[in-house]
Chains A and B, each alone.
Chain A
Amino acid sequence: MVGVALAFALVGAGAYFGASRGRDAETVIGGPFSLVDGDGHPVTDRSFRGRFMLVYFGYTFCPDVCPATLTDVADAMDRLGPKADRVQALFITIDPRRDTEAVVKQYAANFTPRLIGLTGTSDAVADAARAYRVYYAMHRTGAGPDDYSMDHSSILYLMGPDGRFVAPVSAEEGGAGMAEQIGKLVS
């Protein structure tokens, strides 16, 4: 099921990648973002120039998909060995209302110290999600203000040291598969 979706995502991302080679600015994946980390420090896409970024958009109240993916990310970072230092894993929340700075800090750290959680104003998050072509929407499950889940695209993006999109990374084969994919792309 995820495989089919990944296939679509890969085809789509591949098209984007081809186009992003400086020709068609409208279909570029990734771009500037202006968020904050768990300590309230400003973090932008430029904060990690010179290193790769492994970017995932999700939310902390997600019980199933996000923890599964981030557990695999943590595992992949362990398996990468020295190459892991060349990669910064990022978790960007698409639910900034509930996922405050303290929340994303603890959430990300619980998976691995190599994962940084980012949040921000709803506008800043919307800008980042738009740049990465991430779809997200609130799904109400009850009358209370916190009674909702988030629908969202679930794709891992590998961005290069120059900040440009390199490739999507599949979570189909867990952390081992991820480490293999990333290892081939990280110099």
Chain B
Amino acid sequence: MIVRRWFVFAALASAGVSRVAIGQTSADGGAPRVTDAWSRPALKGRTGAVYLTIRAGSRDDRLLALKTSAAAEAELHRSMDDHGVMRMRPAGPLAVGTGQVVRLEPGGYHVMLMGLTRDLTPGESFPVTLVFEAAGEVTATATVRKGRAPADDMGGMPMMPMGQPAGR
């Protein structure tokens, strides 16, 4: 009796946990999905940038904060072209309303990484965690690449997210 109840409870609990934790693959789209995360090559101790796409989940949400093991700090920033003068400003919480697709792209919104904990070299990957007001934490994998698009990188090799680099 007790054993069977435990199994049922565990099955229900794990289903609930997996739905919250793995926002990207949730079938009912509860949490926002984060895709196409990429970063430029950068040097340890310096600044870097991450670009990505956020597809809204089933409810209005806001991106509040970011964190990554690859940098001491990660913040949302926005580049603005003011009649030829480039300015960059910290950006506040980013609204991701239902049905919206929000793209962080070069020249616009981006994740600024400060105090990189290691060099970022093309081909590597690192996790970036987005903290949403409603959905909580969603973690994506950012791939380091040189050019604007996968095709810009060395000879047509598809940039597959690789496993975590063995500790550096």
A interface vs B, CB < 8 Å?
A: 1-2, 4-6, 8-9, 60-65, 67-68, 71, 75, 106-107, 110, 135, 139, 141, 149, 151-155, 174-175
Contacts and interface: CB of A to CB of B under 8 A. Distances in A.
Interface in B108-140: 110, 112-113
A62 B106 contact: no
Contacts, number: 87
A106 B41 CA distance: 13
B102 to A, nearest CB: 16
Nearest to A7: B84
A75 B47 contact: no
Given A64-B110, A110-B41, A8 B46 contact: no
Given A63-B47, A75-B152, A110-B41, A149 B88 contact: yes
A60 B45 CA distance: 11
13 contacts: A5-B82, A8-B83, A61-B47, A63-B88, A64-B106, A64-B112, A68-B106, A107-B43, A110-B42, A135-B85, A149-B88, A151-B88, A153-B85
B86 interface: yes
Which of A61, A64, A68, A139 gathers most chain B CB within 10 Å? A64
B87 A139 contact: yes
Given A5-B81, A61-B46, A154-B84, A71 B107 contact: no
A5 B83 contact: yes
Contacts of A139: 87-89
Contacts of A61: 46-47
Interface string B26-57: 00000000000000111100111100000000
B147 A64 contact: no
Contacts of A8: 83-84
A1 B43 contact: no
A64 B88 CA distance: 9
B99 interface: no
A1 B84 CA distance: 9
A39 to B, nearest CB: 18
B19 interface: no
B83 A106 contact: no
A68 B40 CA distance: 8
B43 A71 contact: no
Interface string B65-108: 00000000000010101111111111000000000000000110
A60 B88 contact: no
Minimum-distance CB pairs A-B, first 6:
A63-B49, A5-B84, A154-B86, A151-B87, A63-B47, A63-B112
A74 to B, nearest CB: 8
